[in-house]
């Protein structure tokens, strides 16, 4: 067994796949005093993967004089749990990570627009604006529709709209979705339109893709949940977030989110930084169900926040060794 705590873990080795480019953004490209956000879903405990994300979020805010917004992304009402939200607030306190907006007490006091399940009125209002522009349609496609298309064509569906061609035939939900709570109904998509979106990712470099190439954006699913992509675009605009820091798994979703931001009236979309994801050697993503990488388990077992940030920095490729880093010193890691 290695003496290096990053190299082995109770459940298997952890690593970050090699990525092109540096793990550290070009200091000259960093925005000036950005608003960024830490936005976990309360569907499990914070783990080492979240810690890598937090390291970039708070580190970039420290390095640029920016601010951190905390958002609880519990748009998925079937999987989110209040006890996980309580745990993540507690874990942030134990790690010494304080958001600039809102104070943690705002979440404990009750409803807040920084919690997606309390923010349904904002999503309904945004949907209303897209409806007025004639961009929303009901989509009756199911997994079976996608599977049938794949069987016919010998490859997974990719195209404009949706495989069933629902924009031409589908009816928008005449009653409109209720703001809250989620109620089942037709799935709703927004037509993204043609053209390419170009942006410069702060780590992945220059990017260009057609937002609609993999279909129109789902804004509400059949269970009545607002979708992740829709909520975050509405929330980022409302919170004036202009630097989105998240994992590489969301890189492909970015052009559609930039386009949606434009459709909702945001003339300057946010900048993006997509960092590498921590994985197991087996190739699996870390799971919130696995306790060996849970932040609270590691703190309970005696690790200090500085030791955990040291591990995260090494996993992210920001340092060669997992030497401890105090939470207040994360900015220096990203400025270097
Ligand atoms: Zn459809």
Q: How far is the CA of 192 from the centre of ligand 1 (A)?
A: 14
Does domain 14-132+228-335 correspond to CATH entry 3.40.50.620? yes
Candidates 140, 154, 96, 133; CA nearest to 309 is: 96
Confidence of residue 335 (pLDDT cuts 50, 70, 90): confident
What pLDDT score does 95 carry?
97
The span from the CA of 7 to the CA of 13, in Å, is 6
> 9-45, pLDDT tens digit by residue?
434 455 555 444 567 888 778 888 999 999 999 999 9
Residue 7 carries which DSSP code? T
pTM, 2 dp: 0.88
- pLDDT given at position 263: 96
Question: Would you state the pLDDT for residue 328?
Answer: 94
Ligand 1 centre distance from Cα of residue 140 (Å): 5
Nearest 5°: CA angle at 155, between 76 and 185? 30
Pairwise CA distance, residues 78 & 253, whole Å: 23
Kindly report, residue by residue over 94-121, the tens digit of the pLDDT.
Answer: 999 999 999 999 999 999 999 999 999 9
**Digit-coded pLDDT (tens) for 232-289:** 999 999 999 999 999 998 998 999 999 999 999 999 999 999 998 877 666 666 665 5
For residue 88, the model assigns a pLDDT of 96
Measured in angstroms, how far is the CA atom of residue 164 from the centroid of ligand 1?
4
Ligand 1 center to 119 CA (angstroms): 27
């Amino acid at each position: 067994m290695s003496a290096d705590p990053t190299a082995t873990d109770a459940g298997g080795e952890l690593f970050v796949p090699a990525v092109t480019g540096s793990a550290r953004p070009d200091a000259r490209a960093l925005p000036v005093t950005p608003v960024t956000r830490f936005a976990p879903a309360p569907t499990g405990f914070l783990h080492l993967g979240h810690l890598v994300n937090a390291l970039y979020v708070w580190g970039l805010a420290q390095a640029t004089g920016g601010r951190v917004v905390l958002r609880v992304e519990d748009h998925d009402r079937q999987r989110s749990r209040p006890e996980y939200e309580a745990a993540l607030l507690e874990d942030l306190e134990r790690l010494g990570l304080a958001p600039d907006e809102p104070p943690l007490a705002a979440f404990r006091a009750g409803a807040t627009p920084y919690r997606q399940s309390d923010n349904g009125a904002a999503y309904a209002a945004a949907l209303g604006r897209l409806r007025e522009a004639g961009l929303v349609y009901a989509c009756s496609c199911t997994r079976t529709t996608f599977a049938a298309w794949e069987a016919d064509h010998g490859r997974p569906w990719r195209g404009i709209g949706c495989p069933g061609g629902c924009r031409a035939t589908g009816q928008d939900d005449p009653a409109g979705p209720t703001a809250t709570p989620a109620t089942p109904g037709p799935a709703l998509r927004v037509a993204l339109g043609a053209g390419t979106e170009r942006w410069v990712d702060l780590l992945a470099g220059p990017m260009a893709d057609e937002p609609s190439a993999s279909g129109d954006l789902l804004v509400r699913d059949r269970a009545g949940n607002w979708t992740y992509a829709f909520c975050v675009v509405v929330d980022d605009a409302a919170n004036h977030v202009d630097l989105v820091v998240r994992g590489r798994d969301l890189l492909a979703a970015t052009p559609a989110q930039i386009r949606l931001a434009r459709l909702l009236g945001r003339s300057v979309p946010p900048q993006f930084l997509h960092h590498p994801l921590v994985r197991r050697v087996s190739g699996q993503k870390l799971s919130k169900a696995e306790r060996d990488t849970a932040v609270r388990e590691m703190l309970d077992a005696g690790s200090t926040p500085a030791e955990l940030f040291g591990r995260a920095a090494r996993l992210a490729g920001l340092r060669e060794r997992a030497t401890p880093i105090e939470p207040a010193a994360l900015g220096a890691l990203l400025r270097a």
